[in-house]
Each structure stands twice: as C-alpha cells, then as structure tokens.
Amino acid sequence: MTLCAIVVTFNRLAELQITLPRLLAEDVDHIVVVDNASTDATPDWLPAQASDRVHVIRLDDNTGGAGGFEAGMAYARDQLDPDWVALMDDDARPAPGALAVFRRETPGLESQFPRLGCVAAAVFYPDGTLCEMNRPSRNPFWHAGLFAKTLFTGSRAGFHVSDAAFAPDAPALPLDVASFVGYFVHRDAVAEIGLPEGGLFIYGDDVLYSLRLRRAGFTMALAPSVRFEHDCGTLGEGFVYRPLWKIYYHCRNGVSIARQAAGPIVFPAALAYYTLMWWRRGRHTQGVERRTYYKLMRMGLRDGLLRRRGRNDTAHALARAADKPAQAA
C-alpha cells in the first residue's frame, strides 16, 4: 500500500510547523503541502522543507480549502499515483502511530465493506474531547429510521455518529458523510468520481464529495482506532462560525448539500429545514453582528439557488465591517 498525505495551508505557519513534523514521523510515503497563496512567512519557510517525501505546491490565489484539496489531489493522482490519499487541514494531524494503524486495519475494512472508497478517522481536539465539526454522519434522506429520528429530535443527533462509536475498540461503522480531516480516499474512487469541487471555496466540499462517492456505489467506514487531532476554533456559541464571513459559504454551499442529499423531490422541504436551523443559530449573535449574520445568510441562500461558486469578496467586506464595532464593544 502506498499512502500520500495532503495538507492545505493558508497563513497558519505555526500550525503547519507542528503538522509537517508529525507527518514526517508517520508511516507515509508522500506528503503534499498546498500553500493557498499564504501572505505570512509560510512562502519563506515551506520551500526549504521540500524533499523526496515532501512535495510543495504554491497556488497563485487563495482558492480556499476546497480549491486547495482539489489541487493537492490532482497532483497526487497525476504525479504520485498512491493507493490512498489522506486529507487534512494545516491545524490537523494524525495522532502518533495513526497512519500505521490505518495500514494495519485497512485490509480488514476492505473485507468488511465492499468497494471501500473512504475511511474516516476519529477526530478529537487536543484536550481529547470529540471535535464536533468533524463528527461523521449518515444521510437521513437515505435511511427512513434516521429520517424519523432527525425529525423527532430536531437536531444533528438524529443522523450523526454517537459518542460511543469513537471508542478506540468500537467496531467500524458505515457512513455517508465525513469531513476532510483524517479522510482517506482510495485511488479507485478518485479515478471514478474525480476531484472535489474547488469552486466551493470553503465548507461543504467534503460533504458533497462524500455524497458523490456514495452515489457511485462506494462504501465509507469510520475507523475509530485511527485517531486524528484538530486544533481548531472556528465554531462559536450555537454553531456560529467565526470569522462571520464563513456563514455565507456555509449557507451557499448548504443549498447544494440539501439538493444532493435529499434529491429533487424532497429538496424544497430539506432546504426549508436547513434554513430554519441556520436562522435559529443567528439568535446567538447580537446587534450589528446579528444583522450581518442574517444578511450573509440571505446572500448565501440566493447564490446557492443560483448555483454560484468561487470567493465572494462582498461577504468578506460585510463581515469585516461588522467585526469592528463588535471589537470596540
């Protein structure tokens, strides 16, 4: 088995300087680091780390995590041709020995799950608690029991994997969706369904790629014995993303997720459910930040319905304007 790790970085050199040595200590054949047009000291430090194992790609523009993963996977496919690629952010890294565990566990997973296209690691914060934003799930629109449970509970708990499933000795579980942190993709899946959609910029690229993989007949599995660490701080109170401009992409790309997850007939009802959920989260903001939250939400819904892609500089400007009075207060 050949294994290639892909790391996307943007202006987080301190985190990258932890992640890259961690990967170099792991049982991995290649490491592809995609520099998403960083403007800090990353362009000065990173090229000197290149070697036979470390491949450095420098993008001309910041294409977000989605564009970075698209570029990294394209390079790995065309230049390295590994059996598996493992995706992660610059602030995420395998726990010591995790990639050796992946190598050891994968043959058994391939026997258990036919046409295994993806293995998802269990992801934790550095303090050992579960990383909520990386909790994998099933698609409730494909499973009647989960759909009913989701409607009854009115929360993500209806279709997300439970805490008990992350115990190191817990059995592997089938999945429909996982995040691009500790996300292992088989070469056959990449050959058949292609690359992630780089135009999404951030958010939803992993969900939509997972749904494409499952629709193509590949299986996905959670391997709780493969452990990753994610030193992130994006989610605030009530699952409100910070910085606030991320709300725009969350909602815009969420329209595509609702469309792909639910199918054309159920899509309007699914979008109404997601919209209500996003609206409720906005109540955890106050003053000018709340007004900006709902404006970004409306912009995202509009552009999602129009199937727009790419970076939206207006959304970034609105969020920066709202942030100034919040900081002053």
Summarised one tens digit per residue, pLDDT across range 212-231 is 999 999 999 999 999 999 99
Question: Measuring CA to CA, which residue among 154, 153, 142, 145 is closest to residue 220?
Answer: 142
DSSP string across 119-161: EEEEEE-TTSSB-GGG--B--GGG-HHHHHHHHHH-SGGGTBP
Q: How many CB atoms lie within 10 A of CB 308?
A: 14
| Predicted structure pTM score | 0.93
C-alpha of 235 from chain center: 14
Strand blocks (E) in the chain? 3-9, 30-35, 54-58, 84-89, 92-94, 116-124, 173-175, 183-186, 219-230
Query: 107-155: per-residue pLDDT in tens?
Result: 999 999 999 999 999 999 999 999 998 999 999 888 767 666 666 565 5
- pLDDT, the chain, mean: 93
329: pLDDT strictly greater than 50: no
CB 87 within 8 A of CB 210: no
* Angle at CA of residue 63, ends 160 and 181, nearest 5°: 30
65: pLDDT strictly greater than 50: yes
Query: 161-217: per-residue pLDDT in tens?
Result: 999 999 999 999 999 999 999 999 999 999 999 999 999 999 999 999 999 999 999
Q: Point out which residues pair with 85 in neighbouring strands.
A: 4, 185
C-alpha of 209 from chain center: 10
- Average the pLDDT over each of 121-125, 256-260, 319-323 and give the range with the smallest value: 319-323
Q: How many CB atoms lie within 10 A of CB 14?
A: 12
Q: What percent of the chain has pLDDT over 70?
A: 91
Higher pLDDT pick, 85 / 234: 85
> What's the rounded Cα separation, in Å, for the pair 68 and 63?
6
Which pLDDT does position 144 carry in this prediction?
66
Buried b (16+ CB within 10 A) or exposed e, 233-263: eeeeeebbbeebbbbbbbbbbbbbbbbbbbe
Q: Point out which residues pair with 32 in neighbouring strands.
A: 6, 55
275: pLDDT strictly greater than 60: yes
Q: What percent of the chain has pLDDT over 90?
A: 85
Higher pLDDT pick, 182 / 327: 182
- Average the pLDDT over each of 24-28, 116-120, 283-287, 302-306 and give the range with the smallest value: 283-287
328: pLDDT strictly greater than 60: no
